[in-house]
Amino acid sequence: MQLEEQLERFLGFSAFRAGQREVVSHVLDGNDCFAMLPTGTGKTVCYQLSGYLLKGAVLIVSPLLSLMQDQVERMRANGEKRVIALNSFLSLPEKQQALGNLGQYKFIFVSPEMLANQRIRAAIASLTIGLFVVDEAHCISQWGHDFRPDYLELGAVREQLGSPVTLVLTATATKKSEDGYQNATSPHGLCGCDSFCGSAEYRDARAKSRDAARKTGATFAANGDASRSGDYLFFE
- Using one digit for the tens of pLDDT, what is the confidence trace for 99-110? 999 999 999 999
pLDDT digits (tens, 9 = 90+) for 55-67: 999 999 988 788 8
165 φ, ψ to 5°? -55, 135
Q: Flag whether the pTM goes above 0.85.
A: no
Residue 138: its pLDDT value, please? 57
Mean pLDDT over residues 101-121, rounded?
91
5 domain-assigned: no
pLDDT digits (tens, 9 = 90+) for 145-192: 445 566 677 888 888 999 999 998 887 654 444 444 444 433 334 444
Residue 230: its pLDDT value, please? 54
What phi-psi label fits residue 162: left (phi over 0), alpha (psi between -120 and 50 degrees) or beta?
left
pLDDT of 210 strictly over 60 = no
| Average predicted confidence (pLDDT) for the chain | 75
Domain holding 81, by residue range, is 15-234
Q: How far apart are CA 236 and CA 218, in angstroms?
A: 28
140 domain-assigned: yes
pLDDT of 228 strictly over 60 = no
Half-sphere exposure of 207 (CA within 13 A, CB side): 5
Residue 231: its pLDDT value, please? 53
Please provide the size of the chain in residues: 236
The one-letter code for the residue type at 85 is A
Task: List beta partners, residue 34.
Answer: 168, 232
4 domain-assigned: no
pLDDT digits (tens, 9 = 90+) for 6-41: 999 999 999 999 889 999 999 999 998 888 877 777
1 domain-assigned: no
Residue 85: its pLDDT value, please? 93
Half-sphere exposure of 219 (CA within 13 A, CB side): 24
Q: How far apart are CA 190 and CA 211, in angstroms?
A: 17
6 domain-assigned: no
Q: How far apart are CA 171 and CA 141, in angstroms?
A: 14
DSSP letters, 54-101, are SSSEEEEE-S-HHHHHHHHHHHHHTT--SEEEESTTS-HHHHHHHHHT
Q: CB neighbours of 14 closer than 8 A, spacing ≥ 6? A: 4, 7, 8
The CATH number that applies at residue 174 is 3.40.50.300
Total tally of structural domains belonging to the chain = 1
Q: How confident is the model at residue 213 (pLDDT cuts 50, 70, 90)?
A: very low
Among 42-51, 58-67, 202-211, the range scoring the smallest mean pLDDT is 202-211
Residue 190: its pLDDT value, please? 46
pLDDT of 209 strictly over 70 = no
pLDDT of 206 strictly over 90 = no
34 domain-assigned: yes
The 3-state DSSP class for residue 217 equals helix
